[in-house]
Amino acid sequence: MRDRLDEFAPNTDVVVVTFTDSERLEGYLGRNDLPFPVVIDPDRTAYRAFGLGRASIARAWGVRPALAYLRLFARGRWRDLRRPTEDTLQLGGDFVISPDGALVYGFWSSGPDDRPRIEELIAASEQG
């Protein structure tokens, strides 16, 4: 996504919300090298507000995630992998919110490997 930020509608702000607590934030930022602001939500208030649930153990650690990890290995990115230190069952999402606070687009992940296509996010940014 970072290499396509210029394709988002003008005045679009991308913000990452994570449940990482303040003690682990520095490590999180170091591992992810994000070009946009990060907001921490250790109590998961925003996660609940957006209806982000939890994956089953089979979904979080099953075949699809295993295949995603194998693709990382095949691309030589095995050094990017770290032992999980947080809740691996918490599901995430991607949302586009208009300046007036209306939800323009929502994507609720069904597992750790489930992400929207970048083209969907770019198109939604143009609607907001």
Gap between the Cα atoms of 101 and 88, Å rounded: 29
pTM attached to this predicted model:
0.74
pLDDT in 10s for each residue of the chain, 128 residues: 788 999 999 989 999 999 988 888 888 888 778 888 999 999 999 999 999 999 888 776 777 767 877 887 788 866 666 666 678 889 999 999 998 889 999 999 988 778 999 999 999 999 86
CA 55 to chain centre: 14
Gap between the Cα atoms of 108 and 52, Å rounded: 7
Q: Which amino acid is at 127?
A: Q
CATH number of the structural domain 2-127? 3.40.30
Give the end-to-end CA distance of the chain in Å, rounded to a whole number. 19
Burial of 8 (0-12, 13-18, 19+ CB in 10 A): buried
In the block, which residue shows the tokens 């750790």?
A: 112
